[in-house]
Amino acid sequence: MSRRIKRTTSPGNRAKGREKGRDKASGKARSKSASEHRGRKADDRKSGDRPFAQRAPGKPPRFAEPRRQERPEPAAAKVASELPLPTKVQTVVVTADEDNMRVDRFLEARFPGLSFSHIQRIVRKGELRVNGKRADSKDRLEEGQSVRIPPLRLDAPKTAGVLSEAETRTLQALKEMTLYEDDDVLVLNKPAGLAVQGGSGMTRHVDQMLEVMRDAKGQKPRLVHRIDRETSGCLLIAKTRFAASYLTGAFRHRSARKIYWALVAGVPKPKQGRISTYLAKEESEEDTIMRIAAHGDEGASHAVTYYAVVETSATKLAWVSLKPVTGRTHQLRAHMAHINHAIVGDPKYFNKENWELPGGLQNRLHLLARRIVIPHPRGGVIDATAPLPPHMQQSWNLLGLEAERFDPIENAPEE
């Protein structure tokens, strides 16, 4: 298992992505041109954008020393983490920082101790109201809206005792997935095929597996973000209410940097660029997909992705590195299909007619949440990297692609 953790002395320091034993590819140019698919004007780029960059060759890998001393919680964060749950109905106003936040994530951010099932239950029963109306957990809030919140409760503490045989196996499975862990944070290498949260007919998922990690106070580790069921790789978990509140805020303010690797049909031109569209959910009796929408369409949200071609296999396939600036459902999958370079093995968005999968490659989604870099709640930076899953490693071997030669995009533009 590939593992990379960097903890720096200052939360403002950015991770440099050093990995041991990695040969650097020289002469890898990073163009400053924007994607031709968008036809974007130069003045669209915000002042925070920076061109793609690669780590300077020849520098030795760096590893952070283990944290030797706990830092005290910041006073403001401590107050937030100890904020009691409401015991009676209350009405709160959506702040500017919470604008465009989903209802379920709004509740997670305000009350990190709530379980996913409890959030879904109060929303489904209509106990939570937005401007006096029922809301769906996936509805997005607007600044200034009034949200009626019913009395809330934490899950009952689990009785201390010996784990059952099934629970012991689950705990062992979580340990085998672990890329990084400390008192506040857990980063898992989620395997392809394992769902992050439950759904219709879903009996095993990460949120359910985390039940075996409840502490003496009954607190269960909490999901901070999500990745698709068939996507493998880095999944960030908060082990405390304090960490959940901090990390949820980091995602909301886009302080987290996520890098994905994918194998796509054809070779994108230009070989690096920016994809910017609006996405809206389209539901049918059989399936739900994200479609490209127009600004102003009902339910449409802006989505931005940066991509760069890392290596190619003739003109039929390309290994691309992807950086989502926003975090919309199926964003990378919909965006790559939009520019006519769908991700190999994608059952929802691969729409190329008469396209044959090269011999030996498995018809499974070739998408990996390769790396996550995010400020640690107590200072420093978490920097974790996941290895290629078995089906992608098999494809890389068959195509002669060398994962150990290249880093993900390190300094992709920001918005």
The Cα 257–Cα 250 span in angstroms is 10
Where does 165-251 sit in CATH, by number? 3.30.2350.10
Where does 86-149 sit in CATH, by number? 3.10.290.10
Residues in a beta bridge with 155: none
Give the per-residue pLDDT at 137: 82
pLDDT of residue 276 exceeding 90, the answer is yes
Give the per-residue pLDDT at 370: 96
Domain boundaries, the chain: 42-66+255-405, 86-149, 165-251
Give the per-residue pLDDT at 409: 54
The Cα 316–Cα 307 span in angstroms is 18
Q: Which two tokens stand for residue 387?
A: 């290895």
CATH superfamily of 42-66+255-405: Pseudouridine synthase (3.30.2350.10)
Q: Do domains 42-66+255-405 and 165-251 have the same CATH topology?
A: yes
CB 309, CB 273: distance < 8 Å: no
In the DSSP assignment, the letter for residue 81 is H
Residues in a beta bridge with 264: 318, 343
CB 250, CB 375: distance < 8 Å: yes
In the DSSP assignment, the letter for residue 289 is E
Predicted TM-score (pTM) of the model is 0.66
Each residue of 66-106: pLDDT tens digit?
343 344 444 333 333 445 666 788 899 998 888 888 888 88
* 161 Cβ contact partners less than 8 Å away, ≥ 6 residues apart: none
Which pLDDT band holds residue 151 (cuts at 50, 70, 90)? confident
Each residue of 363-407: pLDDT tens digit?
999 999 999 999 999 999 999 999 999 999 999 999 999 888 775
Which pLDDT band holds residue 144 (cuts at 50, 70, 90)? very high
Each residue of 331-375: pLDDT tens digit?
999 999 999 999 999 999 998 877 888 888 999 999 999 999 999
CB 349, CB 343: distance < 8 Å: yes
Mean pLDDT, range 185-214, rounded to an integer: 88
Write out the catalytic residue numbers. 228
